[in-house]
Amino acid sequence: MNILQVLGILQLVVPAFTLTQPVNDYWGEFGAYGPCSRTCGTGVAMRTRRCITSRTDGGHNCVGSSKSFLTCNTHACPVGSRDFREEQCSEFDRMDFQGKRHTWVPYYGASNPCELNCVPRGQNFFYRHRPTVVDGTPCYVGRTDICVDGVCRLLVHGEFMGLDNDTIPVHSSASVAVSPHPRDTRIYSYRAGVYGECSATCDGGMQYRIVECLAQDPSNPHVVEESYCISQRLQRPQSQQACNMHPCAAAEFSVSSFNVCSVTCGEGQQSREVVCVGARGEHLPDNACRGLARPASVQTCRRPACSPCVQSLYGCCPDGHTPATGPRNQGCTQDDCVRSRYGCCLDGVTPARGFGMAGCPEYQAPGVYDGNFIHSTSSVAGVPHPRETLTYIYRAGVYGECSATCDGGVQYRSVECLVQDPSNPRVVDESYCVNQRLQRPLSQQACNMHPCAAAEYSVSSFSVVRILPHTMV
């Protein structure tokens, strides 16, 4: 082979060789950050940059991500704000889905927490409405991880880089690092805990477990940031799943509180209302609760043994054992509850110790009382209406006439439980107010406590008039 042939071969080989060599590509400057993805509760803003390259084959050799992120609007959302993922699912409520319209709620059982998976309320299937949720959406309930660019990321306050594989080594022999931990040679794995209890007994709940990224270091295995497992493209185990998807019973029994005992001494009975209600508290016929155990509507009550005063001419004083010496509780002591400063408790015997039935054995839990109404919106565990979120108040009427003009009488007024439903405010069974531990307003009070005049007229009932037949003379 002569020198001319050698030079000809080199002319063919050298250009091809130089095309595969790495070039000095570099990143351009980042642009400005875009808008924040959320107005509260920690959102994310993004900016991008472009790789400056001399390659003409469509690839480049810049190392790292083309995206940078910044957390923003990290202040908490106002109390009562809608869940951010729930808000995204609700955007599809008014859209036709296979010829129907549904109310969509988040589904947390899918393998990728950063997809927008939703389930129609009351149905047993879910649908992926979007491949990614909005940046800043929490990955899991009860944790601080957030979804960024379709990937679950550990929450970092401030700037952090993206994980996108933006290096495209087309026909290049240069080695390109795409991992955020390029020199790390350790092995990582996900470790999943045991699922906890379901959050609901019916109508669909959630149960959760801990999922952690573990460094498989023989001398010191330990939990590390999840980005290590993400960079190794590991499949993340589910950390939450749906449970108890069966519908709740359409009806249940609702009970009121037992009324006052039928006697003031000895053994008597007290009753309560037992009704079959639907999921929204509406009354249903009893056959709708067929198969459920019906609570007792009557029970025995016992008061102190009856005193001989029961058989006396004027009966007993309000204390139930002191004989009255005349009409209208004449001869009774001033300690009787009707004559007391704060009136009687609901049992009709025990004197109240303050306004609002203070010191009474019933309805002692606090409420907000403004004279005619007692308000509550609290949720009380273990009550007969566990799904109620409406507001209930007591409404008190106007006191009627006094039962006596002197020597002490009693006047009464109606007290009702009212549901504050904006579309349909109405009177409901008193058990709703009782279950929310509202303080019941007084329904009776003492009146005309001044003594009667020393003398007065007393009248008997009219006697029967007998008409004799007319005699002709």
Residue 13 pLDDT more than 70?
A: no
Residue 129 has a pLDDT of 92
Residues 135-160 have a mean pLDDT of 87
Residue 211 has a pLDDT of 85
Banded model confidence at residue 302, pLDDT cuts 50, 70, 90: confident
Bridge-based pairing state of the strands 67-72 and 43-48: antiparallel
Residues 128-143 have a mean pLDDT of 89
What phi-psi label fits residue 423: left (phi over 0), alpha (psi between -120 and 50 degrees) or beta?
A: alpha
* Cβ atoms of 337 and 326 closer than 8 Å: no
Cα 104 from Cα 77, distance rounded (Å): 22
Banded model confidence at residue 88, pLDDT cuts 50, 70, 90: very high
Q: 434 phi and psi, to 5 degrees?
A: -65, -40
Cα 297 from Cα 276, distance rounded (Å): 13
Buried-exposed string 412-445: b where 16+ CB fall within 10 A, e elsewhere:
eeebebbbeeeeeeeebbbbbbbbbebbbbbbbb
Residue 357 pLDDT more than 90?
A: no
Banded model confidence at residue 61, pLDDT cuts 50, 70, 90: confident
Banded model confidence at residue 311, pLDDT cuts 50, 70, 90: low
Residue 321 has a pLDDT of 64
Residues 122-128 have a mean pLDDT of 84
Q: Which CATH code fits 184-248?
A: 2.20.100
Residue 238 has a pLDDT of 80
Residues 385-400 have a mean pLDDT of 74
Which of 250-259, 278-287, 352-361, 394-403 bottoms out in mean pLDDT, i.e. has the lowest?
352-361
% of the chain residues with pLDDT over 90: 13
- The mean pLDDT value of the chain amounts to 75
Residue 170 has a pLDDT of 34
pLDDT digits (tens, 9 = 90+) for 189-203: 888 889 888 877 676
Instruction: Please give the residue that has the higher pLDDT: either 74 or 59.
Output: 74
Q: How crowded is residue 278: how many other Cβ atoms within 10 Å of its Cβ? A: 15
Instruction: Please give the residue that has the higher pLDDT: either 115 or 402.
Output: 115
Burial of 239 (0-12, 13-18, 19+ CB in 10 A): buried
Cα 215 from Cα 238, distance rounded (Å): 19
Residue 469 pLDDT more than 70?
A: no
Instruction: Please give the residue that has the higher pLDDT: either 375 or 429.
Output: 429
Residues 88-112 have a mean pLDDT of 87
Residues 451-464 have a mean pLDDT of 61
Residues 432-457 have a mean pLDDT of 78
Task: Map out the domains of the chain as residue ranges.
Answer: 184-248, 336-473
pTM for this predicted structure: 0.38
pLDDT digits (tens, 9 = 90+) for 211-247: 888 998 888 888 888 778 877 778 888 877 888 777 6
Residues 75-82 have a mean pLDDT of 89
Residues 17-36 have a mean pLDDT of 74
Residue 168 pLDDT more than 50?
A: no
Amino acid at 343: G
Banded model confidence at residue 115, pLDDT cuts 50, 70, 90: very high
Residue 130 pLDDT more than 70?
A: yes
Banded model confidence at residue 43, pLDDT cuts 50, 70, 90: very high
Residues 384-388 have a mean pLDDT of 48
Cα 408 from Cα 404, distance rounded (Å): 6
Beta bridge partners of 252: 277
Residue 171 pLDDT more than 50?
A: no
Residues 382-393 have a mean pLDDT of 60
Banded model confidence at residue 24, pLDDT cuts 50, 70, 90: confident
Cα 310 from Cα 316, distance rounded (Å): 6
Residues 329-356 have a mean pLDDT of 64
Banded model confidence at residue 17, pLDDT cuts 50, 70, 90: very low
